[in-house]
Structure 1
Amino acid sequence: MVSELKAEQLRAARAYVGFSQKELANITGITTQTIRRLERNGIADASFATVSKLTQAFQSGGLRFTDTGGVEPVSKPETVGA
Structure 2
Amino acid sequence: MLDRLSAGPARHRPPNGLPALSARRLRSTWIVNLLATGISPAVVATAAGMTSPAGLAPYHQWVRPLPRKEVLRLLHGHRR
In the superposition, the TM-score normalised over structure 1's length comes to: 0.30
The structure with the largest helix share of the pair is 2
- Report 1 or 2 for greater relative contact order, CA contacts < 8 Å, sequence distance ≥ 6: 1
Q: Which is greater in Rg?
A: 2
The structure with the largest strand share of the pair is 1
In the superposition, the TM-score normalised over structure 2's length comes to: 0.31
